[in-house]
Amino acid sequence: MSIKKVSSKMAKINSSYSKQRKEYLYNHNICHAKINKCSLHATEVHHKKGRGKYHLDTSTWLPVCRNCHTWIEANPQEAYELGFSITRH
* DSSP per position, 2-69: PPPSS-HHHHHHHHHHHHHHHHHHHH--B-SS--SS--SB--EEEETT-SGGGTT-GGGEEEE-HHHH
Q: What is the pLDDT of residue 73?
A: 95
Say if pTM beats, i.e. exceeds, 0.85: yes
- pLDDT digits over 15-69, tens only? 999 999 999 999 999 999 999 799 999 999 999 999 889 999 999 999 999 999 9
With beta carbons less than 8 A apart as the criterion, state whether 54 and 13 touch: no
The pLDDT score that the predictor gives to residue 89 is: 65
**pLDDT for res 75:** 96
Cα–Cα distance measured from residue 33 to residue 52, given in angstroms and rounded to the nearest whole number: 22
pLDDT digits (tens, 9 = 90+) for 8-17: 998 999 999 9
